[in-house]
Amino acid sequence: MASTSSLAAVPAAPAAERAAPRRMTDPRRASLPVLAVFLVPALAVYAGLTAYPAFRTIYDSFFTIEGMERVPVGLANYRELLGDETFWVAVRNTFVWAFVAPILDVATGLLLALALYAGVPFARFFRIAWFTPVLLSYVVVAILWMWLYNYDWGVVNVALRAVGLDGLTRSWLGDPNTALAAVIVTHAWKWAGFNMVVCLAAIHSLPSEVLEASELDNCGWGAKLVHIIVPMLRPTLLNLYVLAFIGKMKVFDLVWIMTGGGPLWATETVSTYVYKRAFNWNTFDLGYPSAIAAVWFGVVCAAVLLLNRVFKSKERLEY
């Protein structure tokens, strides 16, 4: 009887609790109207300014376009591209830019970051001075370095004459043998500061225990750099290389201002060649440059995928 009365004294559960449990909503998941408010404007801008121009360029590559007149030519533009010697020179120059120049960019940025990390005198001043070129426009950088490369009164040739190396003076931007290298050095000067900031942040995030252990073992700066710092910074350095690679595969501004692709197509890139064929050569045909742009779009995408696969780290470092 006592057990029966105790059970009777227990109040019945509310009907809401006895019903099927309600589905709990995740506060991290936004509703469809909220998603639409944030995504639709961005997707509209992307579709109008990126996706549509890309697909339209590929579509136009199958036509001869002269003014408002369109004549379907099928794959004729692509067949003509195979025998275009200037295009292949531009491809060669662009590949030199894309594969060799990023090494100079990243290596220079890493060395500058190591100098700041080691505590060179006037480190705060150098941090600002080395990063300043990143903030300059390509027009300013191009004009500045055209003055530096001037044959008569440029700093480079004046310095060579001052130390008795008159035989090495030359028109750096007018000589086909040195023009591409001169423009690449200019580009590296502009972007070394960006790589420096990224590398410096990555160095400061390294585990202090490892660096302190190397110092206790009397590890010199050279050995520490080769065997400790660079291996641990490998993901950061590879990401910087891929970013630089993508930018240099479509380089245009600096080359166009400094050399215009000359002399004798020594600095011609695919981007400058597309611009010339579309607007500078009076060919009045937008179909052929569209074919060049379409082919190069595929090459850039394939190269980026290949680099990501080659540089993919099999062993992830966690620290």
What are 315's two structure tokens? 């062993």
| Mean pLDDT of all residues belonging to the chain | 85
Count of domains for the chain: 1
- Phi then psi for residue 173, to 5 deg, are -90, -10
- Asked if residue 270 lies in contact with residue 88, where contact means CB atoms within 8 angstroms, the answer is no
Residue 115 located in a structural domain: yes
Domain containing residue 97: CATH number: 1.10.3720.10
Q: What is the pLDDT of residue 19?
A: 47
Q: Tell me the residue length of the chain.
A: 319
Q: Which of these ranges, 2-11, 19-28, 184-193, 222-231, has the smallest mean pLDDT?
A: 2-11
Write down the pTM of the prediction: 0.80
pLDDT digits (tens, 9 = 90+) for 207-255: 877 777 777 766 777 777 777 888 888 889 988 998 899 889 989 999 9
Residue 233 located in a structural domain: yes
Residue 170 located in a structural domain: no
Residue 271 domain boundaries: 78-130+181-310
Q: How far apart are the first and last CA of the chain?
A: 66
pLDDT digits (tens, 9 = 90+) for 67-94: 778 889 989 999 999 999 999 999 999 9
Residue 88 located in a structural domain: yes
d(CA 141, CA 143): 6
Residue 252 located in a structural domain: yes
- Give 139's pLDDT tier (boundaries 50, 70, 90): very high
Residue 23 located in a structural domain: no
Residue 222 located in a structural domain: yes
pLDDT surpasses 80 at 184: yes
